[in-house]
């Protein structure tokens, strides 16, 4: 299987990546720009066992040209008891979105699991500071689910009017969501202006999780580490996509 996936597949095999086949069981149009596809897991969740964690993602192989191409997607509501989960797609002009638009029950897709590098913060944070957008919404929700009693502030970049309807799992008593319309560097500027006061006098009690476009993620990560002096174990960042 790895040979048909080109050099990426070969590398993942050398790194002991495990392959699974997922089968579509249902499709839900959350908004015109956001689609949820449900799957049976092909044995993934049983194999994951105790390594299953919030923000967990897998490499999914989507058709495109002479060979498939891999894209990373977060597991949504994984249920080991039933062997089911979902992916959520922020739809745009890309091969994964094209696949999601046409997905129907019975369709299959291959995936490779090779570890996602998440480590639960220790000690447990007293506050979550989260920065993301529709592409990272599944991971954001899994993080909020994992720390249901922890206060959180979420800076959430939006692009479409319908993004206001996306299911961000905020609890009004503990969570605050600050929506930022996508416009150049607006998200980064807003975070730089507002996040420092959220850290308080003891920044090591907070945990900052960010995943947005690569340029914004890199810039904010450097700001958090160098300018604000946050220890690396209190910052988890990943560039999810590249701006065109």
Instruction: Report how many domains make up the chain.
Output: 2
Name the CA dihedral angle for 56, 233, 241, 39, rounded to a multiple of 10 degrees: 10
Residues 217 and 156 in one domain: yes
Choosing from 71, 86, 113, the residue where a domain stops is 113
For the chain, list residues with pLDDT below 70.
1-17, 115-117, 241, 243-244
Distance in angstroms (rounded) separating the CA atoms of residues 185 and 27: 34
Q: Examine residue 120 and state whether it is found in any structural domain, yes or no.
A: no
3-state secondary structure of 103: coil
Choosing from 89, 113, 137, the residue where a domain stops is 113
Q: What angle do CA 150, 49, 5 make, to 5 degrees?
A: 105
Distance in angstroms (rounded) separating the CA atoms of residues 159 and 182: 5
Q: What angle do CA 55, 20, 236 make, to 5 degrees?
A: 20
Residues 49 and 132 in one domain: no
Q: What is the pLDDT of residue 1?
A: 40
Tokens for 7? 């050099």
Q: Examine residue 177 and state whether it is found in any structural domain, yes or no.
A: yes
Residues 72 and 96 in one domain: yes
Report CA-CA distances (Å) from 82 to 103, 105, 109. Answer: 21, 17, 19
Report CA-CA distances (Å) from 89 to 13, 92, 96, 156. Answer: 26, 9, 8, 16
Distance in angstroms (rounded) separating the CA atoms of residues 34 and 28: 9
Residues 86 and 11 in one domain: yes
Half-sphere exposure in the Cβ direction for 176 (13 Å, CA)? 8
Q: Examine residue 175 and state whether it is found in any structural domain, yes or no.
A: yes
Q: Examine residue 121 and state whether it is found in any structural domain, yes or no.
A: no
Residues 85 and 146 in one domain: no
Domain that holds residue 201: 127-237
pLDDT digits (tens, 9 = 90+) for 22-60: 999 999 999 999 999 999 999 999 998 888 899 999 999
Distance in angstroms (rounded) separating the CA atoms of residues 8 and 60: 12
Q: Examine residue 104 and state whether it is found in any structural domain, yes or no.
A: yes
Q: What is the pLDDT of residue 50?
A: 83
Residues 92 and 7 in one domain: yes
Q: Examine residue 224 and state whether it is found in any structural domain, yes or no.
A: yes
Q: Examine residue 79 and state whether it is found in any structural domain, yes or no.
A: yes
Residues 63 and 147 in one domain: no
Distance in angstroms (rounded) separating the CA atoms of residues 232 and 230: 6
Q: Examine residue 244 and state whether it is found in any structural domain, yes or no.
A: no
Choosing from 90, 113, 136, the residue where a domain stops is 113
* Residue 109 CB coordination number (10 Å): 23
Residues 141 and 232 in one domain: yes
Residues 101 and 153 in one domain: no
Residues 156 and 210 in one domain: yes
Q: What is the pLDDT of residue 51?
A: 84
Report CA-CA distances (Å) from 99 to 5, 62, 134, 200. Answer: 17, 7, 18, 45
Residues 25 and 68 in one domain: yes
Residues 230 and 133 in one domain: yes
CATH of the domain at 179: 3.40.50.80
CATH of the domain at 46: 2.40.30.10
Report CA-CA distances (Å) from 166 to 137, 139, 173, 179, 223. Answer: 9, 13, 19, 12, 29
């Amino acid at each position: 299987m790895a040979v048909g996936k080109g050099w990426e597949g070969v590398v993942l095999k050398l790194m002991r990546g495990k392959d699974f086949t997922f089968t579509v069981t249902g499709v839900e149009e959350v908004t015109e720009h956001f689609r949820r596809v449900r799957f049976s897991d092909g044995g993934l969740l049983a194999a994951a066992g105790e390594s299953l964690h919030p923000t967990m993602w897998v490499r999914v192989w989507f058709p495109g040209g002479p060979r498939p191409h891999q894209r990373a997607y977060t597991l949504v509501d994984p249920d080991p008891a039933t062997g089911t989960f979902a992916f959520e797609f922020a739809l745009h002009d890309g091969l994964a979105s094209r696949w999601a638009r046409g997905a129907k029950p019975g369709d299959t897709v291959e995936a490779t699991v090779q570890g996602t590098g998440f480590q639960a913060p220790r000690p447990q944070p007293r506050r979550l500071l989260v920065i993301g957008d529709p592409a990272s919404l599944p991971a954001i929700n899994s993080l909020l689910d994992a720390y249901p009693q922890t206060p959180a502030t979420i800076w959430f970049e939006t692009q479409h009017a319908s993004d206001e309807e996306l299911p961000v799992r905020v609890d009004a008593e503990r969570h605050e969501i600050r929506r930022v319309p996508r416009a150049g560097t607006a998200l980064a500027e807003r975070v730089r202006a507002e996040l420092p006061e959220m850290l308080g006098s003891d920044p090591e009690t907070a945990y900052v999780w960010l995943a947005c476009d690569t340029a914004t993620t890199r810039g904010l990560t450097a700001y958090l580490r160098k300018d604000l002096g946050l220890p690396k174990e209190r910052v988890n960042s990943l560039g999810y996509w590249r701006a065109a």
